[in-house]
Structure 1
């Protein structure tokens, strides 16, 4: 896998370049001790057709979008005759398509002006038939080391393709509350917490090779046996960064205040360092 390329103007990695960075960092393996990565390819008609032959669910994601916008979920119904359900985020209507060729036609007409990736749907659990994931936030501390700032559950709205809160009108959940809803035993909760932290540090170590990021938001889903599947990695860039406001929606705002204070301290410290270099 070629080395990932940083978008110089945006000062970040788009979805495809991030995937390349992660695979390179993991020596081209799609799993490590704490998480797995779904099969992901560039969005071409041939790659989409291959993915639909090999997976029951495939996601189409614009590489330069964020917040869940523009994502389409394609489900394969293997009953006879084979049927494909096309559900684009934000559309109320789910299209039923009767051939791969017609899916490709829809794909070409829907994504003509933007590069995309096609990604296999991981075997993720749902909560009350709604998609959910866990957002892990990594930040720099006063010594410029990475710290695990915390994690929060995100539950998508009814009928949503994604778990993004703003886009799907979903809600956040404290991690303990989420584990309770999923009937996790204490030992499972402890293992999950350890795996979330291990995942955060592993990914931070990989992406810092491409730029001196200071905020990393990592979205992971849970399978039925509580193993982690990586969904997306977001970093600070010229357009913004991972949302801190998710943590503001928790009943206790102490964690949010810590995150904000750490963020401001890092920005001030780096701003002062830049001024010293200039003057």
Structure 2
């Protein structure tokens, strides 16, 4: 088994080494006051999250409202900071606790709720990576995280999400082909550093104009999410691959 860290930060840095994949990665930095303010001023919205957590835990959004007001959203709760000093006091509590700050992607939405995508990429020993299934996770009302348990969101097919989003006028076949291509290239880039991994759950997204993004890669993805789809054959295919 590899000794290389499986943290979000380590996997992000490995993916960034690929010039081709760099275009699909949201800008990400280790959380410090300087990186936080540079990115918030650049993007007006950022996400901060612990680099070792899963399931949406600890994910916080900061939004710049005007020159002196900032909004924090944690789960469905929101809080207003009236100046930079208040924000810096909050950030100080996070410093040294392995947090990253990331450009916030304007995710495509279904009925006003953001969704992202879980793309399963698997392989047999000594064989190429394959996309074995994908689904869309739609955030619960009022939430920014798409984790189903945390936000009381729902799982739908990717095709359903696209048909009910602002991307419905785009060719879904082209969007899905691009999604698969980026997922496979991500697995191919990470695979040599984690040779023990045979299954990856890659969290990806489309933004409001149909651009593909890589959010993060999970090596122990929850397969049971796929049982929530009407088409159970996708779960069976993933599970059979997983067992082998």
TM-score over 0.5 for the alignment? Answer: yes
Q: Provide the C-alpha distance between the structure 2 equivalents of 1:181 and 1:173, rounded to a whole number of angstroms.
A: 11
Establish whether residue 21 from structure 1 lines up as the match of residue 50 from structure 2.
no
Q: C-alpha displacement at 1:115, in angstroms?
A: 0.7
Q: 1:104 aligns with which of 74, 88, 105?
A: 88
Matched with 2:22 is: 30
Q: 2:62 aligns with which of 63, 74, 83?
A: 74
Unaligned runs of at least 5 residues, structure 2: none
Q: Counterparts in 2 of 1:99-138, with a 5 A limit?
A: 99-109=83-93, 111-112=94-95, 114-138=97-121
Q: C-alpha displacement at 1:25, in angstroms?
A: 2.6
Q: 2:234 aligns with which of 245, 255, 267?
A: 255
Q: Counterparts in 2 of 1:116-195, with a 5 A limit?
A: 116-141=99-124, 143-182=126-165, 184=167, 188-195=171-178
Task: Give the number of aligned pairs.
Answer: 243
Residues 142 and 187 (structure 1 numbering): CA distance in 2 closer, same or farther, change over 3 Å? farther
Establish whether residue 209 from structure 1 lines up as the match of residue 201 from structure 2.
no
How much is the aligned-residue C-alpha RMSD, in angstroms?
A: 2.0
CA-to-partner distance for each residue in 1:186-218, whole Å, 9 max, x for gaps? Answer: 861011110111011100111012111111111
CA-to-partner distance for each residue in 1:15-72, whole Å, 9 max, x for gaps? Answer: 1111110111337x731xxxx2111110111111211221111100101101110111
TM-score w.r.t. length of structure 2: 0.92
Q: Bigger radius of gyration, 1 or 2? A: 1
Q: 1:222 aligns with which of 192, 206, 225?
A: 206
Q: C-alpha displacement at 1:126, in angstroms?
A: 2.1
TM-score w.r.t. length of structure 1: 0.81
Matched with 2:40 is: 52
Conservation of the 8 A alpha-carbon contact between 1:139 and 1:214: yes
